[in-house]
Amino acid sequence: MNLKKVLVTGGSRGIGLGIALRFAREGFCVGIVGRSQQHLIAAQEKAAQQGLVLHVYSCDLQDSAQLTDTVSRFAKQHNGLDILCCNAGIFPSAPLAEMTEQQWDDVQAVNSKGTFLSVKAALPWLKQAEYGRVVITSSITGPVTGYPGWAHYAASKAAQLGFMRTAALELAGWNITVNAVLPGNIFTEGLESMGEAYAAAMINAVPLKRLGTVEDIAAAVHFLASKEAGFITGQTLIVDGGQILPESTG
């Protein structure tokens, strides 16, 4: 069997690390990309404790030349690239009236432009694969809902889906599918840092009365990246415990 190769951007922590570990457990060759060497090494060590291997690559997704080189290094070292998980993202909070142009630009550069640059860098390798897969980590915030303080984040996540649909059309001829997972309230380091009161409010908004886990998102990504999902492209899969369903929170 041909060992599939997976590259996960923003793979050193949170949802990205959960995705990477899921693929590693399933026997894939997995590389993770991140900005912090410290976080990358910590992720590699966490994987090793579970008997898993993650190949780590330090890279700034806003630097297209560096990103292209990183993707090429992974593909050359491991004889190809089959699956790209565009997961890298930032979500600093700022009220619209106080948000600066720089804050807006920073979020778009990582979340939206970073997705575009990652796919473009991976494209020559995905075209050579038996079947190529691109799975984008978007969000319910922006495409479906809004949240105060995240106007820039919401815009970037909606932008990812516009990109996804056109990319799916353009890449279908190479048997490459492009889909997105839209997480709701997921327990990660970022959410934990917002405090217990915030986490309790997030749980209350979910009909299943729990926060999602990184494993919940990883399972959805794994499905969309599978051979069995080969007739699904340009689509979104919401993983939110029913969060968007109620007409009101009362």
Residue 195 backbone zone (phi > 0: left; psi -120 to 50: alpha; other: beta): left
Q: Which residues pair with 31 in a beta bridge?
A: 7, 55
pLDDT in tens, 143-185: 999 999 999 999 999 999 999 999 999 999 999 999 999 999 9
DSSP letter at 131?
A: S
Is there a contact between 211 and 185 (Cβ–Cβ < 8 Å)?
A: yes
* pLDDT tens-digit map of 14-65: 999 999 999 999 999 999 999 999 999 999 999 999 999 999 999 999 999 9
Neighbours of 25 (CB within 10 A): 15
Residue positions annotated with a catalytic role: 153
CB atoms within 10 A of CB 220: 23
**Domains detected in the chain:** 5-234 (3.40.50.720)
User: Looking at residue 199, what is its pLDDT?
Assistant: 80
CA distances from 113 to 3, 26, 36, 83, 167 (A): 30, 30, 19, 19, 14
CA distances from 63 to 104, 110, 168 (A): 18, 10, 24
